[in-house]
Structure 1
Amino acid sequence: MKLLARYLLKELVIPLGVWVAFLFLLLFVMQFLRGTDVLLGSAVTLQDMGQLLLYLAPHFLMMALPIAFLLAILLGLGRLSEDRELTALQALGIGPVQLLAGPLAIGAVLAGLMLLLTSTAEPWGLTSVKGFVAEIIKKNVVGDVKSGVFYEDLSNLTLYAETVEGEERRWTNVLLYDDREPSSPLLMLAHNGQVNTNTSGQVLTLVLGDGEAHRANQTSSAYSVVTFQKGEIAVGVEGSMGRRNRFRSPKEELTPVELLQAADEAERTGGDARPFLMALHNRVGHALAPLSFALLGTPLAIGRRQGGRAWGYLFTLGGYVLFYLLMRLFEQMGQQGKLPVPLAGQLANILFCAAGVVAMYRVNRSGTVR
């Protein structure tokens, strides 16, 4: 039995590693394409890309591990079924139920790993990447402002500098048009200026010197002019840059303890605690998905007909999409109070486990020969 266990583990672990690597790379490429306006800026280096990958790795693993595990079961046990090895094992008295132990063991390990990731590394990574991308955007502004070219990547702000000089990228003869308040736009003209990148958080500061500010009121004929020696314009990176920082979801940045604290705070202030509790239970449900996938995927793989690999992959991907849709559906029902929050977080797993038990019962009765 130990030899059989090692053989089955080899058949599952190798394709699992291949699928995780493939899906991890695919997710990173998709995220990269979504953020090309940030990640292809003039200030981005290979070190920045590596740091970004480190921050996003826990989130990508949380997304890749369940479907990679389901595909590994299909590929590993499915090959044994197609090569009639499962028929030989059945002739030796080893039935489908005994083959379930290996996938369940790997599923338990993956579930434990995902619970650890979603409780610690994933919130840390998503929180870190928000500030990291904000800093990249700030550095891009410094490098992307060119002499004699209008810079319009800042939403509702237009910047022009006659010359950009030195390593500190100082500007001379600067024009800044601020249309963030359409009813009273602001025009600033200055002899010099530059970007202050030493600010923390989601704020970028444009520092202008020796100039004047013109403000017009569209609802009246009022027009004001103010001269200044030094003026600063604060720009919110996240809100004022066309939503270029798209690398996080707010509740995913919170640890389970922080979600419980937020729920408690919402209850004490008369708010709705369900969204925070639902986010916590939904996260736990997603982390436990490998167990339900093991229970459902094993009978589907060993009971697959000859030559049905393509249909098997299609069915596997369809099953994962169905699981995701059910998770979102039950999440909405939990937030609306139509289902108890703990049940809503685990109901997709419960349904998949029930389907797996039925499928295993049918395979066990009929055998593995097809």
Structure 2
Amino acid sequence: MFRVSLVHRQIFKEHISIFCLAMFSLVFLIVIGKVLQLRELFLGLDVGILEMLKLFGFLIPAVLLMIIPIATMLSVFLTFLRMSSDRELVALKASGVSLYQLLPAPVVFASLCTLLTLWVSMFGISWGMDNFRTSVLELAQTRAKVVLQPGVFNKSIPNLMIYSRSSSLATGELEHVLVQDTSRDSGGVTIVAPTGKIISDTKMGEIRFVLNNGKLYRQDNNEISVLGFNRYTVRLALSQLVKGVHLGKLRPSGMSYPQLQAIKNDPSLAESQSFIRKTDVEIPKRWAMPFACLVLGLFAMPLACAFEGMRQQMGVVMALGNFLVYYSLLSISMKSGEGGSGISPSISLWIPNILFAGLAIAGLYFTAKERTINLTSMITHVMFLRRKDKGGGTCRS
């Protein structure tokens, strides 16, 4: 009993070390990709290093939903691949320890990963996206205030020319404002107001120039119409000011689970039927992805035994290939649900988990009975036969 518990602790430690390495590597690769994707955002807003790191920190929960299952599978797969290749599993079996007795360590490890992913799925994603949007809006609002230099006709904002005799960077207050808006197809309008203010809206993803007690001039052919107003708002979508990132209305993929449930219970909160379908897909996805950690972790055990003798570099490729199959099935189910065709998303998104869980159970059973095929030997044998055929047969002495 003492010997088995010691083995469990060693296996669990190895899972943790590989998991940390895999998480660091995958997050680093994704961050590099995000840098290229958001380069226009960082250049446009003149973001510093610390602000950039903070923004990336807010984006990480959104990618952890996919990264944690991959890292979980890699941890279990590489641990048991090493044990299988080093004949440790054979030695343990000769000592009377079966494969089933080794299950507690990977099951506990995969369960902890499932709980972590579940928290990220329910609350972490929305926390990160809300803070990311708020931070970018603050940076964009600061930039909008900065470019509005008093006494200067500012043309830095697309389709808008803004002039203010005086402006406050701290409060966003404007005095003696002139705005020329050329975004309308029917022709531009010129707005003159004694006072105004810059306001940011996180939910709508826009900056508003609110003007008070002014007049609006519109030219139509050779006629100019004048309209007085008490309050007039010029809306500037941040997609015009901030490139490379979506900051419009919040999408289902960036919402918390309670927000998704609220839309499901009251469809009138959704802006379109497509939005409702995406919500119906997102809800089961938030449950399916966390439990993928447990399913893929158990699936990795017999898979590692089947590839006994394979080098760890190739093992990483094989594990990622199997996860690609899993994620492809999940993506097909998601696209089918968003298109409104096929099986209900609450069923179809669980099909990959059910399929891989069945393979895991069958694989564990046959591996424990020593009835699995050594895929590494089979691949090596096939490659040898192909080389032999290309060489023109056997050599004669």
For the aligned pair, the TM-score class normalised by the smaller chain equals 0.7 to 0.9
Tell me the equivalent position of 2:297: 294
- Residue in structure 1 matched with residue 394 of structure 2 by the alignment: none
Does residue 343 of structure 1 match 2:347?
Answer: yes
CA offset digits 1:15-57 (Å, max 9, x no partner):
1011112222332332333222223445634553354244333
Counterpart-to-counterpart distance in 1, 2:141 and 2:260: 30
The one-letter code of the counterpart of 1:33 is: L
CA distance in 2, matches of 1:193, 1:64: 50
Contact 1:187–1:214 (Cα < 8 Å) also in 2: yes
Check whether the contact 1:130–1:245 (CA below 8 A) recurs between aligned residues: no
Structure 2 unmatched runs, 5+:
378-397
- Which stretch of the first structure deviates more once superposed, 42-51 or 142-151? 142-151
Partner of residue 252, structure 1: 253
Contact 1:293 1:352 in 2 (8 A): yes
- Amino acid paired to 1:119: M
Tell me the distance in 1 between the aligned counterparts of 2:114 and 2:122.
Answer: 12
Alignment of structure 1 residues 162-177 onto 2, 5 Å:
177=180
What residue is the counterpart of 1:353 in the other structure?
A: 357
Offset of residue 107 of structure 1: 1.0
Name 2:371's counterpart in structure 1: 366
Q: Secondary structure of 1:234's partner?
A: strand
Q: Is the 8 A contact 2:80 2:305 kept in 1?
A: yes
Aligned AA (1:259): L
Structure 1 residues not aligned, in runs of 5+? none
Tell me the number of residue pairs that the alignment of Structure 1 and Structure 2 aligns. 364
Counterparts of 1:196 and 1:203, CA distance in 2: 11
Residue 205 of structure 1 aligns to a residue whose secondary structure is strand
Alpha-carbon distance between aligned partners in 2 of 1:266 and 1:198, rounded to the nearest angstrom: 27
2: CA distance, partners of 1:108 / 1:253: 25
Structure 1 residues 12 and 24, CA gap change in structure 2 (3 angstroms): same
Shift of 1:246: 2.5
The CA RMSD over aligned residues, in Å, is 4.0
Q: Is the 8 A contact 2:281 2:345 kept in 1?
A: yes
Contact 1:174 1:189 in 2 (8 A): yes
Change (3 A) 1:319 1:246: farther
Equivalents in 2 of 1:166, 1:261: separation in Å? 40
In structure 1, the residue matched to 2:22 is: 19
Pairs within 5 Å for 1:187-266: 187=190, 196=198, 202-206=205-209, 215-217=218-220, 220-224=221-225, 234-241=234-241, 244-246=244-246, 250-266=251-267
Q: 1:283-311, CA deviations, whole angstroms, 9 ceiling, x for partnerless residues?
A: 10011111111121111123314244343
- 1:137–1:237 CA contact under 8 A, matched in 2: no
Identity %: 20
User: Aligned to 1:196, what secondary structure does the other structure show?
Assistant: strand
Alpha-carbon distance between aligned partners in 1 of 2:282 and 2:23, rounded to the nearest angstrom: 25
Alignment partner, residue 62 of structure 2: 59
Q: 1:116 — aligned with what? A: 119
Task: Give 1:234's aligned amino acid.
Answer: V
Relative distance call for 1:33 and 1:203 in structure 2 (3 A) is same
The answer to whether 1:7 aligns with 2:10 is yes
Counterpart pick for 2:186 among 183, 186, 192: 183
Deviations 1:132-190 (CA, angstroms, capped at 9, x unpaired): 22222222233456898974554xx1447799999679999998553321122235689
- Between structure 1 and structure 2, the one with the greater Rg is 2
Counterpart check, 1:88 vs 2:91: yes
Q: Secondary structure at the match of 1:366?
A: coil
Residue 309 (structure 1) aligns with = 312
Deviation per CA, 1:193-241: give whole Å up to 9, x if none: 9972566653323478999865334xx554446799x996523334544
CA–CA distance in structure 1, aligned partners of residues 251 and 199 of structure 2: 25
**Secondary structure of the residue that 2:208 maps to in structure 1?**
strand
Contact 1:238/1:245 (<8 A) preserved: no
| Amino acid paired to 2:266 | E
Q: Deviations over 1:319-355 (max 9, x none)?
A: 2222222112122334525223332221111111122
